[in-house]
Amino acid sequence: MTYPLWPRNCLTMFAVQFKEACWAYGGFMRLEGKVAVITGGGNGLGRATARRFASEGAKVVVADIVDELGEETVQMVASDGGAASFIHCDAVSAQDNHAMAAHALENYGAIDILVTAAGVSHPGYKSGDNDASLKWWAKRMDYFENPATELLDLELEDFRQVMAINLDGTLLAAQACVAPMVEAGNGGSIVTIASIAAKHPDAGPIPYVCSKSAVWMLTKKMARLLATSGIRVNAIGPGYIDTHMTKMIELIPEERLTQFFANIPMGRKGVPDEIANTALFLASDEASYFTGEILHPDGGYFTE
C-alpha cells in the first residue's frame, strides 16, 4: 500500500522530534535492543567501545585472545550497569570466530553490530606487556638513521603474522557474523578499525601499513557486497590514540617527538572514548546513509 507523501513526511518529522525529545530527557538509548560483537574487546579501543555501546543499551559480546583482559571488560560493563559476556577468540582462527558468532546468537538471539578492534602493531605484540613492546620499539630507533634497513631486515614470517591478525582477522570475523545477519534479514552495521596508516606510509611499520590499507579496501568491498542486505560497512581510521599500542611513542627522542606532534594540528594523542564515540555513530541509525566510508578521528593529521 502506498501513502501520499505529506502524511509520511509528517510521521517522519514526528518520529525525529520524538526521538530528540527522548534524548533530551535521557530516556532514549541509541543501541537499545541491539546486540554488538566486539573483537579485541579486552583492551584499548575495543574495551572503550564495549563500554560505550553498553551504556547506549546494547548487549555486548566481548571477544579477545587474552581472557583476563576480556573478563575485565565484562566486569567493567557490568559495574556500569550494562550487559556483556566474554568469549575467547583468536582473530586468526575461523573456528573461534564461528564460535564467537554462535555465542552471540545463543546468549542474545541476534547479531546487529560487529566491531573488529582486534589488532597488533608488530609481530609478537601482546596487549598490556609494556616491557616487550618497549624492547621491540627500541630496536627500531636505528631505522630513523638508516631507513632502508627497515625493508631489508623484515622477515616474511613477521610480515605474515601482522597481516594475519589485522587483515585475515577482520575478514574471518565478518564472515562469521554476516552469515546470521543476512539470514535474519534485519540489516546491521559493521565497523572495522583501520588507521591513518591505511593511507599514509609513515604511520607505522611495513606490515602494519600494508595490513591497514588492505582492511580499508576490504571494508569498501564488503560495503558494496552487503548494501542490498541492508548491512552498512564502514571503517574508522584513528590517528594516535592513547592505548597500550602507542605507549612506545614515549621512546622517541625528544626532537623527533616534537616533530611527531607537529604533524597533529591538535597537538595531542586522542583518547579511546573519542574512537568509541565514532564507532557509536557509525553503528547507530544516525549513520543510516553511510557505507563504504572511512572516518579519521586523528586531531587533523590529514589536513596536510
Ligand X SMILES: NC(=O)c1ccc[n+]([C@@H]2O[C@H](COP(=O)([O-])OP(=O)(O)OC[C@H]3O[C@@H](n4cnc5c(N)ncnc54)[C@H](O)[C@@H]3O)[C@@H](O)[C@H]2O)c1
Indicate which residues carry an active-site annotation.
Answer: 208
One of 30, 31, 37, 42 touching ligand X (CB under 6 A): 42
Q: Measured over all CA atoms, what is the biggest interatomic distance in the chain, rounded to whole angstroms?
A: 70
Q: Which of 43, 49, 189, 213 binds ligand X (CB under 6 A)?
A: 43
Binding mask 153-192 for ligand X (x = CB under 6 A): ------------xx--------------------------
- Under the criterion CB under 6 A, does residue 64 sit at the interface with ligand X? yes
Binding pattern to ligand X, positions 80-119, x when CB under 6 A? ---------xxxx------------------------xxx
Quickly list DSSP for the chain: ----HHHHHHHHHHHHHHHHHHHHTT---TTTT-EEEEETTTSHHHHHHHHHHHHTT-EEEEEES-HHHHHHHHHHHHHTT-EEEEEE--TT-HHHHHHHHHHHHHHHS---EEEE----SSTT--TT-HHHHHHHHHHHHHHHH-THHHHHH--HHHHHHHHIIIIIHHHHHHHHHHHHHHHHT--EEEEEE--GGGT-GGGS-HHHHHHHHHHHHHHHHHHHHHGGGTEEEEEE---SBSSGGGGGGGGS-HHHHHHHHHTSTT-S-B-HHHHHHHHHHHHSGGGTT--S-EE--STTGGG-
Taking CB under 6 A as the binding criterion, the range among 98-106, 172-180, 218-226, 239-247 that sits at the site for ligand X is 239-247
Q: Which is nearer to ligand X, 10 or 100 (CB)?
A: 100
Closest distance of CB 161 from ligand X, Å: 9
46 in contact with ligand X (CB under 6 A): yes
Q: Count interface residues toward ligand X (CB under 6 A).
A: 31
Interaction between residue 238 and ligand X (CB under 6 A): yes
Q: Is 45 in the site for ligand X (CB under 6 A)?
A: yes
195, 213, 263, 284: residue in contact with ligand X (rule CB under 6 A): 195
Residues 10-39 contacting ligand X, CB under 6 A: 39
Rounded CA separation 195/239 (Å)? 6
Q: Is 248 in the site for ligand X (CB under 6 A)?
A: no
Q: Report the nearest approach of ligand X to the CB of residue 13 (Å).
A: 39
When asked if residue 120 is in the footprint of ligand X (CB under 6 A), the reply is: yes
Smaller CB separation from ligand X, 195 or 284: 195
Applying CB under 6 A, the span of 60-68, 79-87, 220-228, 260-268 interacting with ligand X comes to 60-68
* One-letter amino acid of 294: I
The separation between CA 39 and the C-alpha centre of its own chain, rounded to angstroms, equals 8
Residues that bind ligand X (CB under 6 A): 39-40, 42-46, 64-66, 69, 89-92, 117-120, 127, 165-166, 193, 195, 238, 240-241, 243-246
